[in-house]
Amino acid sequence: MAKKIVTKRSWAEPFKIKMVELLKMTTPEHRLKAISSAGYNTFLLRSEDVYIDLLTDSGTNAMSDRQWAGLMLGDEAYAGSRNYYHLETAVKKFYGYKYLVPTHQGRGAENILSKCLIKEGDIIPGNMYFTTTRLHQELAGGIFEDVIIDEAHDSTNLHPFKGNIDLNKVEALIKKHGASKIPYICVATTVNMAGGQPISLENLKALRKLTLKHGIKIILDMTRVAENAYFIQQREKGYANKSIAAIVKETCSLTDGATMSAKKDALVNIGGFLAVNDKKVFEEARNMVVIYEGLHTYGGLAGRDLEAMAIGIEESLSDDHMAARVGQVIYLGEKLIDAGIPIVQPIGGHGIFIDAKRFLPHVKQAQFPAQALAAAIYTDSGVRTMERGVVSAGRKANGENYFPKLELVRLTIPRRVYTQAHMDVITESIEHVYSIRKKIKGLQMVYEPKYLRFFQARFKPL
Ligand code: F0G
């Protein structure tokens, strides 16, 4: 008998596990009590009551042994810590920006950037809003305008670069307001609220051309720039043989500066920065960081945090790391698609986004379907997800709710934390909840904080 030739070769993560964190297993009764005392908001659960935590990929990464060793090299001097210089070298070498201002996390950088660049009444175009980014723009007197392509608002559209910017929308804003009213365009990589969708380099290059013509800056939200580079490597013509590191460097080279939440791509639990090429902006930002974060060589972080970030930046740019990181997200997404679960497609970089409008068509958007679905998934299995729909979108300046087209539940995958077996358990839970979806009811909001309400709002079942 002829021997069977095996052609399929599996791959696995490019690391092994050195230490584990034990989890508490809970009963459905326990979880029902927990979610009800959390006001049906997964942000208000105690992490102890969670089995698999997919709330966010922010600060939830597992650091490597090299990063943990780096913590011991923390130089906790108030000024001029050696770890600051290590981070500065890494930012210059891997991202190419000239000047660095460390901040405690991404929103610290957004605050300083917005205060430095935005004047009352300015317009800030961006490829879809992000909660903290838009709020800091508004608090500085700016008005956010969404210029992402229309395809991004459709969870079934298979466009390979749904993070792309519609240049016609940008041109229309320039025509309407004048370039002098637009201090910069905020470009996010793997657009979070669109489902982790990438922007292509072709699109960014075209935007660069347009902005140079009008003297408008591009500021990158580079929070997930390496994940964006992975999609460029896989999908964009001419980039299949380029490394993630080279694509990231090219991406940054097309912009004037960036805000970074290092809690995502850069594989740390806390940290961020603002990086710019313009010396004048740098000098103002470096002065301002002293007011809001701390001295310009630590920006609200300990020396050891700066060291872990410098090491994490380098690790995040390895092709093997990124293939496994996004590979795990795609593994989960494909299982859910096979099970018939309505999710945002193409599968994004940092998580799976369930389309709650299609999952719970009987719940009106004003009754918070994504919030209700996140609570139901937690109750079923202890898997914690988060709402990215009408609650996250908040209210306009005139008090009206934003009703975003996308009403999503995000299953965000922390980096280097969970195994394939965890992905299987998650799929089984979602499948079960889908089978009983008709029983899930909407919610009523009973407490609403003024800013970023999704973090602390409370609900009760209708
Ligand atoms: N920009 C993007 C695209 C983000 O996803 C985040 C955070 C920030 C900026 C702000 O950074 O949290 O360090 O202050 N996103 C987290 C999330 C909170 O769960 O998506 P931060």
For residues 390 and 308, state if they share a domain. no
Q: Give the closest residue to 427 by CA, choosing from 418, 438, 439.
A: 418
- Is pLDDT above 80 for 47? yes
Give residue for tokens 């991404």: 106
Q: Do 31 and 378 meet the contact criterion of CB atoms below 8 Å apart?
A: yes
Establish whether 221 is a catalytic residue.
yes
Q: What is the pLDDT of residue 307?
A: 98
Q: Are residues 207 and 294 in the same domain?
A: yes
Within-domain flag for 11: no
Q: Which residues pair with 259 in a beta bridge?
A: 221, 274
pLDDT score of 3 = 67
Which residue's CA is the nearest one to ligand 1's atom 5?
Answer: 192
Nearest CA to ligand 1 atom 10: 106
58 CA → ligand 1 middle, Å: 7
272 has a pLDDT exceeding 70: yes
Claim to verify: residue 265 and residue 290 sit in the same structural domain:
yes
Residue 419 is a catalytic residue? no
End residue of a domain, out of 316, 334, 361: 316
H-helix or E-strand spanning residue 118: none
Last residue of a domain, one of 261, 284, 316: 316
Q: Would residue 269 count as lying in a domain?
A: yes
Of the residues 57, 122, 166, 221, only one is catalytic, namely 221
Rounded Cα distance between 170 and 147, Å, is 6
Work out the number of other CB atoms within 10 angstroms of the CB of residue 418: 18
Over the stretch 409-462, which tens digit does the pLDDT of each residue have?
999 999 999 999 999 999 999 999 999 999 999 999 999 999 999 999 999 999
pLDDT one-digit tens code per residue, 106-153 = 999 999 999 999 999 999 999 999 999 999 999 999 999 999 999 999
Q: How confident is the model at residue 42 (pLDDT cuts 50, 70, 90)?
A: very high
User: Is 130 among the catalytic positions?
Assistant: yes
Task: Determine the Cα angle at 133 with ends 96 and 390, to 5°.
Answer: 140
> DSSP labels for 266-302?
T--SS-EEEEES-HHHHHHHHHHHHHHTS-TTTTTS-
In a domain, 12, yes or no: no
Q: pLDDT tens-digit profile of 148-160? A: 999 999 999 999 9
Q: What is the pLDDT of residue 2?
A: 61
Instruction: Give, in order, the Cα–Cα distances in Å from 366 to each of 298, 370, 390, 400, 436.
Output: 43, 11, 8, 12, 21
Q: Measure 371 CA to ligand 1 centroid, in angstroms.
A: 19
Question: Does 341 lie in the same domain as 277?
Answer: no
- Closest ligand 1 atom to residue 133 Cα is 9
Residue 112 lies in a domain: yes
Domain shared by 102 and 249, yes or no: yes
Task: Give yes or no: 57 in active site.
Answer: no
Percent of the chain with pLDDT over 70: 99
Asked whether the beta carbons of 260 and 272 are under 8 A apart, the reply is: yes
* Average pLDDT of the chain to the nearest whole number: 97
Which pLDDT score is estimated for 7? 78
Catalytic residue among 264, 410, 415, 416: 264
Residue 458: in which H helix or E strand, if any? strand 458-461
Ligand 1 pocket check: which of 55, 104, 264, 350 to mutate, most ligand atoms within 8 Å of Cβ?
264
Does 372 fall in a domain? yes
Q: Say whether both 209 and 273 belong to one domain.
A: yes
Which residue's structure tokens are 């901040």? 103
Residue 211 belongs to what domain range? Answer: 65-316
pLDDT at 383 over 70: yes
> Are 339 and 301 members of one domain?
no
Say which residues have a Cβ less than 8 Å from residue 322's Cβ, sequence separation at least 6. 226, 227, 229, 230, 244, 316
Q: Is residue 131 annotated as a catalytic residue, yes or no?
A: yes
Residue range 66-82: average pLDDT?
Answer: 98
Total of domains in the chain: 2
pLDDT at 95: 98
Last residue of a domain, one of 257, 286, 316: 316
Let me know: does 152 contact 162? Beta carbons within 8 Å: yes
Q: Which residues does a 6 A CB cutoff place in the pocket of ligand 1?
A: 56, 58, 105-107, 130, 132-133, 188, 192, 221, 223, 261, 263, 272
Q: Using the mean position of ligand 1's atoms as its centre, give its distance from the Cα of residue 139 in Å.
A: 17
Distance 106 CA to ligand 1 centre (A): 6
In this structure, are 324 and 309 located in the same domain?
A: no
Residue 6 pLDDT > 80, yes or no?
no
- Answer yes or no: do 259 and 150 share one domain: yes
pLDDT of amino acid 1: 56
**Average pLDDT estimate for 233-249:** 98
Number of the ligand 1 atom closest to the C-alpha atom of 57: 19
Torsion on CA atoms 49, 54, 59, 60, rounded to nearest 10: 70
* CATH number of the domain where residue 245 is located: 3.40.640.10
Average pLDDT (74-85) is 98
Cα(127)–Cα(248) distance, integer angstroms: 18
Same domain, 209 and 282: yes
CATH number of 432's domain: 3.90.1150.10
Which of the residues 56, 131, 132, 297 is marked catalytic? 131
86 falls within a domain: yes
Please tell me the predicted confidence (pLDDT) of residue 91: 98
Asked whether the beta carbons of 107 and 126 are under 8 A apart, the reply is no
The answer to whether residues 52 and 99 belong to one domain is: no
378 is catalytic: no
The pLDDT of residue 185 is 98
Token pair 């996308």: residue: 406
What is the average per-residue pLDDT within 313-336? 97
Output the CA–CA distances (angstroms, integers) from residue 203 to 130, 300, 304, 415, in the order listed.
20, 35, 38, 28
Let me know if residue 1 belongs to a domain: no
Choose the catalytic residue: 230, 353, 454, 459.
Answer: 454
Q: Are residues 298 and 406 in the same domain?
A: no
Position 23 in a domain: no
Q: Is the pTM of this model over 0.85?
A: yes
| Active-site annotation holds for 264 | yes
